[in-house]
Amino acid sequence: RVELLEGEIVEMGRPGPPHQGTVDRLTRLFSSRLGDRVIVRVQGPVLLASVESEPQPDLALLVPRPDFYVTGHPEPPDILLAIEVMDTSVDKDRRVKLPLYARAGIAETWLVDLNADRVEVHRRPGPAGYADSRTLRRGEPLAIQAFPDVALTVADLLG
């Protein structure tokens, strides 16, 4: 698999069992908790034309559309939350993809860090990055900015 990052074709690593299992857990979690309020896109492309990129976040929670985006990939206004699961991809996700998401205007991005057993929550995107960034550890609560009524914990994401 490949993805387009800042006009360059970049090869994606093959996800190992911890990474893929976490993606599967998150898919089930968000599908069951949010139902028809979102479309849960798993490792599919999103179009960030302003930064010449078409990355494939591990998960993206999308604004529902009747056509399920068959007429075009989601763009930043369609993306409620982008999630990257990090184990072997920490450097690329944090130093390349996170700034791209901020510059493109994705409202919220979570980095699920399997190595450090934590979740980084990034909000308020801008040209210089996300203005609001917090690191949460196991046991701490977190909520999706677009759905503050849905209670989650870091442990829900990490397993």
Cβ count near 103 (within 10 Å): 20
CATH code of the domain made up of 2-158:
3.90.1570.10
Cβ count near 109 (within 10 Å): 25
Tokens of 154: 């870091």
As a residue count, the chain comes to 159
| pLDDT bracket for residue 18 (50, 70, 90) | very high
| Cα 147 from chain centroid (whole Å) | 15
- 111 closest CA partner among 126, 127, 130, 103: 130
Q: Where are the domains of the chain?
A: 2-158
Tens-place pLDDT, residues 82-128: 999 999 878 888 988 999 999 999 999 999 999 999 999 999 999 99
The answer to whether the beta carbons of residues 64 and 34 sit under 8 Å apart is no
**What b/e readout covers 32-45, taking b as 16+ CB neighbours within 10 angstroms?**
eebeeebbbbbbbb
The answer to whether the beta carbons of residues 123 and 132 sit under 8 Å apart is yes
Residues 35, 117: Cα–Cα separation, whole Å: 27
pLDDT of 65 > 80? The answer is: yes
As a whole number of angstroms, the longest Cα–Cα distance in the chain is 40
pLDDT at 104: 96
Residues 9, 120: Cα–Cα separation, whole Å: 26
> What is the enclosing helix (H) or strand (E) of 90?
helix 90-92
